[in-house]
C-alpha cells in the first residue's frame, strides 16, 4: 500500500493514523488551516487515491471534486451521512464503512443511556460527590426501566441489537421502519408519531438520510410526552434539537439520553442544568476494542482495494 496516497480527514484514532502512516503515503487534512485546504488538496491531488473520513469530517462534494484521482472512500463509521454518495456513484468511487464491529457498543450505550436517564444516575453521582448525602435526608423516586415499552426507530443491525438487550429487561418492543419486518414479532408502527405515542422509551437507531432528517420533530416529542424518554444514538440531525430543548425545559418530555447533537461538539447549554438528561460526546463506538476493530476494517478495505481483492465491507 506504500504508493497509496491516503487523505485522513480527522485525528479519529491514533492506531489507525499510525498504521496508515507506516503503510501508505499519509496526508493529514486537519494539520492544514481551513483557508489553505483547497490549495493543499490541489497540490496533492495526483497522489491522493483514498479518503478516510469519520462522523466529524467525511468526504463531501467539494472534497471529492478536488481529488480527481480518488478511487475509494473508507469511512471510520457505519453512518455515511458525511459522504456524498451520489457524487461517489457518479465518479465510480468505491465506498466502505464499518458495520457490525460497532453494533454491540452502540446498542450497549443506548440501553445504558436509557437506564441512566430514567434512574437519574448522573444526578445521584453528583449528589454524592457534592457531599450532599451528609446534609440532606430526602430522596426522590425515579422511573423504573424494566418492563417499560421500548420503541425503536429503525430496526437494522443496531436497532435489532437494542431490542435483544431490552427484551432481557422484560421490555415489550415496538418499532418503526420503512417497511414491516416479517421475521419478527415486535409490534410494527407505520408512523413515528404512533410509535412515540405508544412507547415509554423511544430510541433513534436509523441511518441519517434526507428522509430521516428531523424524524423526531415536535409532533413526535409531544406524542412521547412528559413521561417519555428519548434516546438518540443515531445522528444529531435526526432530532429537531431546538424543539427538543424547549420540550425538556417546559416539561413536555420526560427525559433524554443523547450521544449525538446537531452541531457537534456544541451542545445546547440550556440542557446542562437538567437532571433528566444524560449528555455524552458521541462515544457510541468509542471503546478500545471497537476502535481497533474499526481501524482494522478500514485498513483491510484499503488493502483489498489495492490488491484487487473483494472489499470487506462495501457500502455502495
Residues taking part in catalysis? 235, 264, 282
Binding other proteins by CB under 8 A: which of 1, 121, 194, 207?
121
Sheet of 72-75: strand order equals 25-28, 5-8, 48-53, 72-75, 94-96
For other proteins, which is the closer residue by CB, 211 or 266? 266
As a whole number of angstroms, the distance between CA 169 and CA 146 comes to 5
**Exposed/middle/buried for 139, CB within 10 Å: 0-12, 13-18, 19+?**
exposed
Q: Which stretch binds other proteins (CB under 8 A): 39-47, 86-94, 168-176, 208-216?
A: 168-176
Question: Can residue 185 be called a binding residue for other proteins (CB under 8 A)?
Answer: no
| Binding of residue 251 to other proteins (CB under 8 A) | no
Q: Does 217 bind other proteins (CB under 8 A)?
A: no
Pick one of 195, 224, 267, 315: the residue that binds other proteins (CB under 8 A): 267
Cβ nearer to other proteins, comparing 92 with 136: 136
Stretch that binds other proteins, among 69-77, 123-131, 187-195, 242-250 (CB under 8 A): 123-131
Q: Which of positions 268-297 make contact with other proteins (CB under 8 A)?
A: 269, 272, 278-283, 286-291
| Least CB distance to other proteins at residue 281 (A) | 5
- DSSP string across 68-119: TT--EEEESSS--TTB-HHHHHHHT-EEE--TTTTHHHHHHHHHHHHHHHHH
- Residue keyed to cell 462515544: 283
The CA-based angle 249-110-241, given to 5 degrees, is 35
Across-strand partners of 314? 96
Shortest distance, position 195 Cβ to other proteins, whole Å: 22
Beta carbon nearer to other proteins, 147 or 242? 147
> Of the candidates 60, 71, 108, 275, which one interacts with other proteins according to CB under 8 A?
108
- For other proteins, give the closer residue by CB, 75 or 212: 75
Q: Which has the closest alpha carbon to 292: 81, 12, 6?
A: 12
Cα gap 35→161, rounded to integer Å: 42
**How far is Cα 140 from Cα 62, in angstroms, rounded to an integer?**
53
What's the closest the beta carbon of residue 56 comes to other proteins, in angstroms?
9
Binding positions for other proteins, rule: CB under 8 A: 104-105, 108-109, 111-113, 115-116, 119, 121-122, 124-125, 127-129, 131, 133-134, 137-147, 164-165, 167-170, 264-267, 269, 272, 278-283, 286-291
Amino acid at each position: 500500500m506504500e504508493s497509496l496516497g491516503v487523505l485522513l480527514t480527522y485525528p479519529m484514532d491514533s492506531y489507525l493514523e499510525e498504521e496508515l502512516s507506516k503503510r501508505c503515503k499519509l496526508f493529514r487534512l486537519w494539520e492544514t488551516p481551513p483557508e489553505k485546504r483547497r490549495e493543499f488538496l490541489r497540490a496533492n491531488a495526483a497522489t491522493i487515491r483514498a479518503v478516510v473520513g469519520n462522523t466529524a469530517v467525511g468526504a463531501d462534494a467539494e472534497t471529492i471534486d478536488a481529488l480527481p484521482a480518488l478511487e475509494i472512500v473508507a469511512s471510520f463509521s457505519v453512518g455515511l451521512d458525511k459522504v456524498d454518495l451520489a457524487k461517489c456513484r457518479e465518479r465510480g468511487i468505491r465506498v466502505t464503512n464499518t458495520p457490525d464491529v460497532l453494533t454491540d457498543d452502540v446498542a450497549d450505550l443506548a440501553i445504558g443511556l436509557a437506564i441512566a436517564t430514567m434512574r437519574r444516575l448522573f444526578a445521584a453521582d453528583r449528589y454524592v460527590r457534592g457531599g450532599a448525602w451528609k446534609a440532606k435526608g430526602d430522596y426522590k423516586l425515579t422511573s423504573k426501566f424494566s418492563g417499560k415499552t421500548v420503541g425503536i426507530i429503525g430496526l437494522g443491525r443496531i436497532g435489532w441489537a437494542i431490542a435483544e438487550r431490552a427484551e432481557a429487561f422484560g421490555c415489550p418492543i415496538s418499532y418503526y421502519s420503512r417497511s414491516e419486518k416479517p421475521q419478527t414479532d415486535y409490534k410494527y408502527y407505520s408512523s413515528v408519531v404512533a410509535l412515540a405515542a405508544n412507547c415509554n422509551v423511544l430510541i433513534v437507531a436509523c441511518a441519517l438520510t434526507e428522509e430521516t432528517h428531523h424524524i423526531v420533530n415536535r409532533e413526535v416529542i409531544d406524542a412521547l410526552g412528559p413521561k417519555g424518554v428519548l434516546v438518540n444514538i443515531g445522528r444529531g440531525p435526526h432530532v429537531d434539537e431546538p424543539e427538543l430543548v424547549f420540550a425538556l425545559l417546559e416539561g413536555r418530555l420526560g427525559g433524554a439520553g443523547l450521544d449525538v447533537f446537531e452541531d457537534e461538539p456544541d451542545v445546547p447549554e440550556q440542557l446542562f442544568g437538567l437532571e433528566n438528561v444524560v449528555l455524552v460526546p458521541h462515544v457510541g463506538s468509542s471503546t478500545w476494542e471497537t476502535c481497533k476493530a474499526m481501524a482494522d476494517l478500514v485498513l483491510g478495505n484499503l488493502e483489498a482495494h489495492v490488491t484487487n481483492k473483494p472489499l470487506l465491507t462495501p457500502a455502495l
